[in-house]
A and B are shown apart, each in its own frame.
Chain A
Amino acid sequence: MSTTAPASPLAGLWHGPVVDADVHIAPPSVEAIFPYLDEVWREFAMERGFGEGTWNATSVTNTLPPNSPITTRADWRPDDGRPPASDLELLNRQVLEPYGTEMAVVTCYYGIDALRHPDYAAAMASAVNDWMVAEWLEADERLRGSLVLPAHDPVAMAAEIDRLGGHPRIRQIFLPIRSEHLYGRRTYLPVFEAAARHGLVCGLHFGGSSDGPPTPVGFPSWYMEEYAGATQLYFSQIMSIIAEGLLQRFPSLKFAVLEGGFLWLPGIMWRLDKEWKGLRRDIPWVDRPPSSLVREHFRFSVAPVDAGPPEHMAVQIDHLGADDMLMFATDYPHDHQRGLEELIGVLPQATLENMMYRTARDLYGD
């Protein structure tokens, strides 16, 4: 083990167990997944230049300005020019050891949903998942995995879930927030049926490449609008999942809302409850106030913390109306840890314990 591991970033804040609900990993190069890919698709990948570009254009770095801290925290950039988050030893040294992490849920986004070739996309998703299982999950018992899926083909998505969903370390499916259709639509029933069958968490995460503009009212001019505006996609997906009755169809389903913030939630819950009173006849399967379904079925990572000063944060936390909805996450390698210290400072003790480990342990644990 490296002798230069930094002191715990949680020193003075938290001394108990830590479960990290959102850690990114990426293949160091597309060739890294070739052992898990049929020859025909290897040639496809090489012909099409998949994964070429600065660092690794199809990994966690591709939707954000490459040099911004939100893309990769400065001290988490490998010195040797390799893509960030692509090395288990680095993950161990930079996150798992310093934070004292007992369990971390890893996601490998890798832009599979950008691929439109249905067979190529499915093969690439399988290769990434097999690479993750073999080289991360089975190499470090603290890690739990999220399945990347061929996002444009719900039947193929379900097939991939069935292929690997029984692996004891696979605990989640990765659902890019920007999907081709709202996830509550019946188009996706095979996906959620498979997730429920294997007891997997459904992880709604920033990213995705739908056919339309990134906002419902067209293309924004500036990057900030697209990035900050992604919050509205989380609203839309949560509303769809509730209104379409997915939670009545599959009562065991749990959703993790990752890298989406959470302080926007109280207002949305209030609005849904208010409108439900008059519009519930349209959706008679929603037989309870929607906020109660959110509180029962959705959990939220706290990276980023989209919060104001601590006195405001405390009020907003109180408005969540439940003490078990938040999950600690580093969002490695993104620099989304700012605000965590203030958040920890305002949380009641039970909420803090739930956030640091209990909620995620219940959700992802064995």
Chain B
Amino acid sequence: MATDPSARETKFVVARTSDIPDGGRIIVEINGRSIGVFNVGGEFHALLNRCPHSGAPLCRGSLVGSLKSDVPGSYTYDSSQKLLQCPWHGWEFDIRTGQSYCDPEKTRVRHYETETATGSELNEAVAAEEVADPATHEIAGELEPRPYGVPLQRGPYRAELIPVEVENDYVIVPLRSR
């Protein structure tokens, strides 16, 4: 658990895994950016807390299953595909990919990857790095420009992923700096 000098990546501990139960989420601020970290069936996913449509706090939206229908009254519900609904306009984004499912030609939300680490690993890291918590944190460098608002020329695109790592007890968001 250390900064990769070539990538200039900084890892921020955002929570203990036990802080985010299955189906739960936290919203943390890292270097001025609000990021939502979700536990979906034991997988951790992170998204920028800003809807690419008009800037709503996306990560406060409802997490819902995929719902499709071929004919009125018939519902195909898939709880394994989770969609985050923007609290302002209800647009849906795949929690795993950031893919929009309301206007797929135009809108994709940035997806951050998360990771977890053990406490001992983190102790080593803390000596060398900053550790984020929801209240105070810093990050070196800037995030790349988010792709929202950019009309995509061809699809399907993948959102830029920022890993969420889980190392034993901790949920970690590593952010690459420039």
A245 at the interface (CB under 8 A from B): yes
| CB–CB A278/B90 < 8 A | yes
Segment at the B interface, from A31-39, A119-127, A264-272, A280-288: A280-288
| CB-defined contacts of A281 to chain B, threshold 8 Å | 64, 67, 85, 90, 92
**Of the candidates A278, A280, A285, which one forms a contact with B72 in the assembled complex, judged by CB atoms under 8 Å apart?**
A285
Whole-angstrom CA separation of A285 from B71 in the bound complex: 5
- Chain B residues contacting A244 (CB-CB under 8 Å) are 72
- From residue A44, how far is it (CB to closest CB) to chain B in Å? 39
CB neighbours (8 Å) of B68 from chain A are 284, 287
Rounded to whole angstroms, the CA-CA distance of A249 and B89 in the bound complex is 28
Q: Any chain B CB within 8 A of the CB of A277?
A: yes
Least Cβ distance of A191 to chain B in Å? 15
Complex CA–CA separation, A278 to B74 (angstroms): 20
Q: Mark B49-84, 1 if CB is under 8 A from A, else 0.
A: 000000000000000100111111011000000000
| Contacting residues of chain A (126-143) with chain B, CB-CB under 8 angstroms | none
Interface size class of A (residues with CB under 8 A): 10 to 19
Complex alpha-carbon distance, A279 and B92, angstroms:
10
Which residues does chain A contribute within 8 Å of B103, judged by CB atoms? 277
**A316 to B102 CA separation, bound complex (whole angstroms):** 27
Q: Which residues of B contact A279 (CB under 8 A)?
A: 90
Does A62 have its Cβ within 8 Å of any Cβ on chain B? no
Chain B residues with Cβ under 8 A from A186's Cβ? Answer: 72
The docked-state distance in angstroms from the alpha carbon of A278 to that of B100 is 11
Contacts known (A244-B72, A249-B72, A277-B103); A284 close to B89, Cβ less than 8 A: no
Whether the Cβ atoms of B89 and A277 lie closer than 8 Å is: yes
Contact B86 A278 (CB under 8 A): yes
Residue of B72, B75, B89, B103 with most chain A CB atoms under a 10 A cut-off: B72
Task: Report the nearest B residue to A281, measured CB to CB.
Answer: B67
Shortest C-beta distance, A318 to chain B (Å), equals 21
Interface size on B, residues (CB 8 A): 17
Closest CB in chain B relative to A343 CB, distance in Å: 33
Q: Which of B76-125 contact A (CB under 8 A)?
A: 85-86, 89-92, 102-103
Chain A residues near B75 (CB, 8 Å)? 284
Name the residue on B nearest A184 (C-beta): B72
Asked whether A278 lies within 8 Å of B91 as measured between CB atoms, the reply is yes
CB distance from B93 to the nearest CB of A (A): 12
- The proximity string for A residues 159-186 relative to B, scoring 1 for CB distances below 8 Å and 0 otherwise, is 0000000000000000000000000001
- B72 and A248 contact, CB distance less than 8 A: yes
Shortest Cβ distance from residue B55 to the other chain A in the assembled complex, whole angstroms: 15
> Which residues of chain B are near A285, meaning CB under 8 Å?
69-72, 74
CA–CA, A249 and B68, complex, Å = 15
B75 to chain A: closest residue by CB: A284
Task: List chain A residues, Cβ under 8 A from B102.
Answer: 276-278, 280
Give chain A residues whose Cβ lies under 8 Å from the Cβ of B85: 281
Minimum C-beta distance from A324 to chain B (A): 24
Chain A residues near B90 (CB, 8 Å)?
A: 277-279, 281
Nearest-Cβ distance from residue B85 to partner chain A, whole angstroms: 7
Quick one: closest A residue to B89, CB to CB? A278
Distance from B34 Cβ to chain A, minimum over Cβ atoms (Å) = 21
CB distance from B70 to the nearest CB of A (A): 7
B76 — nearest CB in chain A belongs to which residue? Answer: A284
How far apart are B54's CB and chain A's nearest CB, in angstroms? 11
* Interchain nearest-CB distance for A186 vs B (Å): 8
Taking the closest CB of chain B, its distance from the CB of A281, in whole angstroms, is: 6
B15-73 residues with Cβ-Cβ distance < 8 A to A are 64, 67-72
Neighbouring A residues of B72 by C-beta, 8 Å: 186, 244-246, 248-249, 285
Q: Which residues of B contact A248 (CB under 8 A)?
A: 69-72
CA separation between A82 and B135, bound complex, in Å?
86
In the bound complex, do residue B91 and residue A277 qualify as a contact, i.e. CB atoms below 8 Å apart?
yes
A18→B72 CA distance, assembly (Å): 38
A117 to chain B, nearest CB (A): 32
Which residues from A are CB-within-8-Å of B69? Answer: 245, 248, 284-285, 287
Q: List 30 A-B contacts (CB under 8 A).
A: A186-B72, A244-B72, A245-B69, A245-B71, A245-B72, A246-B72, A248-B69, A248-B70, A248-B72, A249-B72, A277-B89, A277-B90, A277-B91, A277-B102, A277-B103, A278-B86, A278-B90, A278-B91, A280-B102, A281-B64, A281-B67, A281-B85, A284-B67, A284-B69, A284-B75, A285-B69, A285-B70, A285-B72, A285-B74, A287-B68
Known: A186-B72, A278-B91. 14 other contacts (CB 8 A): A245-B72, A248-B69, A248-B70, A248-B71, A248-B72, A249-B71, A277-B89, A278-B90, A281-B85, A281-B92, A284-B68, A284-B69, A285-B70, A285-B71
Q: Which 10 A-B pairs have the closest CB atoms?
A: A278-B90, A245-B72, A278-B89, A284-B69, A277-B102, A285-B69, A284-B67, A285-B72, A248-B71, A277-B103
Residues in chain A within 8 A of chain B (CB atoms): 186, 244-246, 248-249, 276-281, 284-285, 287
